[in-house]
Structure 1
Amino acid sequence: MYRIGQFVRQAYADYLGSQYSPREVYARSSAADRCLESVQLLLAGAYPPTTAKWQWNISTGAQLGSNWQPFPIYTYPAELIDNDTLLRVGHYCPKAKEAYNNNYLKSNRVMSLIKKETEFLDKLGKTVGRQLNDPVVIDNLRDTLTIEYSRKYFWSNHSMWPSSDDKAIVDKLNEMVSKFKKIKYSDQVLKKTGGGPLVKELVNNIKESINGTTSKPYNYKLYLYSTHDIKLSFLLSALNVWNDLLIPFGSSLIVELHQQLGAINGKGYFVRLYYYNETLDDNKVCPYLLKLPNCTSVDCPVDQFYSLTNSVIFNDWNR
């Protein structure tokens, strides 16, 4: 995340300028520790206090005050974390809860996928001490084993299974969960309730930037949202640009607002999207340029962007 922050500073140096002011960034995070830590790392990479105005404690000779500066990060109370509909998916409205249960959790398509792998799941379940007949439980196990495998914690070292199974099991679970999530994120109700609130926030930010107004404490240059892989998946799905692949750790969607040279009176604005999912070029951050469906080019006119996103935006959560 620190490296992504450095990319932001380098890629948008002309736009952000040389002030490195914490007042030009709006940072909003889920209350989960890892999300708060991620956005702090990104900000540290993007905004080292290079000007004396934002440096602190320099007289003591301490190095921290010339390399890091504090930023306000808006979030939710930890005890109400699942009520954060903007950056969490744990709080389902009644209609979404029904769709989640019927169209995903207990759907024939999901149950068929699980039944097809009964032998594999039964054997694995006995090893890990869990019954693996639920897509959520299977996904949680996949998440744990994937993290452990990436950190070189191999179950084969503890005689749980042969060394040849370490990667094979993780790959098999990733394949299964990818199919689960394709079913989940294609559901129109879940797509709307899962991705809609964040799409609405992005659209409002764009409109306020164009109009020169703000509903937030300052007129910001940069908006950062630190969330979870499931929320990012729903956002990409709501925008119809998800590639059906699992979201790697540290992935980011970058939404740029541009105005054509010479355009006036609020005209000539367009939106450009980039997706970073560990696409490294010589150890540098190298995001993919995305094209929104039904836009004539990767530079999507803002009115067209509003039209394409309108179907997933709603105002009354309880309806």
Structure 2
Amino acid sequence: MQKEKLVHLIPYRLDNQLFETHQIPEGIELIQAPSLWQQGYKGKDMVIAVIDTGCDTKHPDLHGRILEGKNFTDDDNGAEDNITDYNGHGTHVAGTIAAINPASGVVGVAPEAKLIILKALGGKNGSGEYEWIVNAINYAVSKNVDIISMSLGGPLDVSELHDAIKAAVNQNILVVCAAGNEGDGNHHTDEFSYPAAYTEVISVGSISLQRKSSYFTNSNNEIDLVAPGERIISTIPDGRYAVYSGTSMSAPHVAGALALIKSVTEKEFSRVLSEPELYAQLIKRTIPLGYPKSLEGNGLVYLTAPDLLADYLRQKNIAESIGV
């Protein structure tokens, strides 16, 4: 298959590799996930499909998080039950979403969520055919997952890929995609990567841990929001950890955040919300950082934003009542 007909990992950079760590990653803190944990929301009963390079299912920080896995690539002669991660990217993404080892490793955004690992990118470089991605999406839909996370992309608008995503969204499945790392530092120019460029998906750009727009993040009118994507520590194969940078790292922050939001809103509304309603609840939990919409969309995912707004309005009412 010609190179342009392949889907690839959204490019990412390895900043550092570690054998052990003891922390809640800064990106998890930045989006205010621990505040929801303290309220009892950790993503319990939420199922997230991770379509990526596979996963190290034996990593101690992912113990008990993985429901099942399936291989859609030609790695290991196409063995469907072999989801070995030869790249490390898929394991890193999985850890950001749902790792659960704060004592001696890392913890993810939604540490009680469950994962279905769908390996649709193969080899050490992490590339795959569009058919593999489509098949993985369709499988996720058949499993009635809550969220699909994809940190992958290609230059082509492929109708079968678009149709699969629309089918997922029609089943009220939230589809989260990395925006891409082809940014040129000029927010007036557009860089599109598919499937992130489809209107139906939630396209996630990158910021640094200091809330600065990442130099590599794609800019276009389909960016929905941003999340931490620089120097993100998470799990990699063989029980280790690594610090990666890229919009690949931003997307799983939002996938995990949606698991928490879905838990919160189902309790608040006493019913299951539709995909458009959940998207609205996500955007309600963003704060603008002051960058052009083509770079940040609605802003940084910030899970306590409604509380901040409520506090502000309360203080404003108090000030008005005493004539300040």
Indicate whether the TM-score tops 0.5: no
Structure-1-length-normalised TM-score: 0.30
Does 1 or 2 have the higher relative contact order (CA < 8 Å, sep 6+)? 2
When you count helix as a share of all residues, which structure comes out higher?
1
Structure-2-length-normalised TM-score: 0.30
Between Structure 1 and Structure 2, whose CA radius of gyration is higher? 1
When you count strand as a share of all residues, which structure comes out higher?
2
